[in-house]
Amino acid sequence: MAERKSMNKYYPPDWDPSKGSINQYRGQHHLRDRAKKIDQGILVIRFEMPFSVWCLACENHIGMGVRFNAEKKAIDKYFTTNIYSFKMKCHICSNQFEIQTDPKNTEYKIINGLRKRTEEFDPIDAELPSSSFIKYDNDEKNNNNNNNDDTLLKLENKKIDIDKGKKESTRLEQLQEIMTNRTVNDYQLSSKMRKSFREKKKEEQIELERQQSKGIMIPLLKEHQDDIDAAKDIDFNFNSLKRKLDESKKIKRELIKNESVLKLSNNNNNNNNSISNNNKIENIIRKKSRIDPSLFNNNNNNDNKSKVNETFTLNLFK
């Protein structure tokens, strides 16, 4: 942004570098109107209200975070830290108010024109520790002080500390031994870890290729043994379907065997031949298939081969 502004400035014909910058040549500050009181040490900035307040003139509420154009000025020092004053005008009325920094208490303080909003809350709602916890801490502290005065309790506590130290020392030695083994065999551990990473990555790549070959574009969970067992328990009546399929193949084979090899050109001969063939087919179906003969009663006078086959097919897959 600064580079763009410097390149887009207008330099009049009578200006030359010996006259300084363009701001010096025009007799103005580079901050323009924000620095119109710079000779008094005042700079206009954007100030954000640090807390909720009430305006004393119009009695309107000003929430925390509302921003104002404030006049910033260093008025004093706390040791080496500057104390700044911020003067601004209410955005609703013409009231002027002032806020100063307080480095000693690390907060802001209101000088005039405003009244700070006091917020009341329940410590339980605010999730703050209640007095009972504080009292418990004080009681525990008092008990510790009384224990220090009791010599017997001191000896007992000392013995407890020694026993506890022995137990902890054993555990610490085990942890130290584990860490020592890890640092000694760091190459083997690193190789083992990288090998497991490679195997896992290879398995994921194989699974991804398998899913993509089936047109699955979303990651799937691994097979669980419960799912495999549930799939095995499903009965699709495979034996019955296989038996019906075998019977269908046998019927087709018998039909092919009984068909005439030579096809006659005469239509009458063809019709007579088809009638005899249909009778043969009907007899074959009755013998080879396990169909109730009563199903063919309605088709005795029917010479259409397709209807006989349709009756057989409907009963076969019934």
Note the pLDDT tens digit of each residue in 181-193: 777 777 888 888 8
Question: What is the domain partition of the chain in residue ranges?
Answer: 2-116, 131-176, 185-216, 251-259+266-316
The average confidence (pLDDT) of the chain is: 76
What is residue 144's predicted lDDT score, i.e. its pLDDT? Answer: 56
> What would the mean pLDDT of 256-277 be, rounded to a whole number?
58
Give the 3-state secondary structure of residue 103: coil
> What would the mean pLDDT of 262-274 be, rounded to a whole number?
53
> What would the mean pLDDT of 54-82 be, rounded to a whole number?
92
Tens digits of per-residue pLDDT, 220-241?
A: 888 888 888 888 877 766 677 7
What is residue 301's predicted lDDT score, i.e. its pLDDT? Answer: 47
Tens digits of per-residue pLDDT, 125-166?
A: 555 544 443 444 445 545 555 555 577 788 888 888 888 888
Question: Whole-model pTM?
Answer: 0.36
Give the 3-state secondary structure of residue 85: strand
Contact between residue 62 and residue 52 where contact means Cβ atoms under 8 Å apart: yes
Top mean-pLDDT range of 70-74, 234-238, 308-312: 70-74
Q: Report the C-alpha gap between 29 and 13 in whole angstroms.
A: 21
H-helix or E-strand containing 47?
A: strand 43-48
Rg for the chain, CA atoms, rounded = 50
DSSP code for 31: T
Give the 3-state secondary structure of residue 96: strand
271 Cα distance to chain centroid? 76
Alpha helices in the chain (DSSP H): 2-7, 22-26, 131-149, 151-184, 186-213, 225-233, 238-258, 267-288, 305-316
pLDDT at 46 over 90: yes
Q: Report the C-alpha gap between 22 and 272 in whole angstroms.
A: 118
Closest of 3, 1, 71 to residue 34, by C-alpha:
71
pLDDT at 256 over 50: yes
Top mean-pLDDT range of 46-60, 116-130, 170-184: 46-60
* Residue 216 φ then ψ, to 5°: -95, 120
Q: Report the C-alpha gap between 167 and 160 in whole angstroms.
A: 11
pLDDT at 107 over 50: yes
Q: Report the C-alpha gap between 254 and 57 in whole angstroms.
A: 111
Distances (CA, A) of 194 to 151, 180, 182, 187: 59, 21, 15, 10
More confident residue, 17 or 313: 17
Band (49; pLDDT cuts 50, 70, 90): very high
What is residue 261's predicted lDDT score, i.e. its pLDDT? Answer: 62
What is residue 50's predicted lDDT score, i.e. its pLDDT? Answer: 92
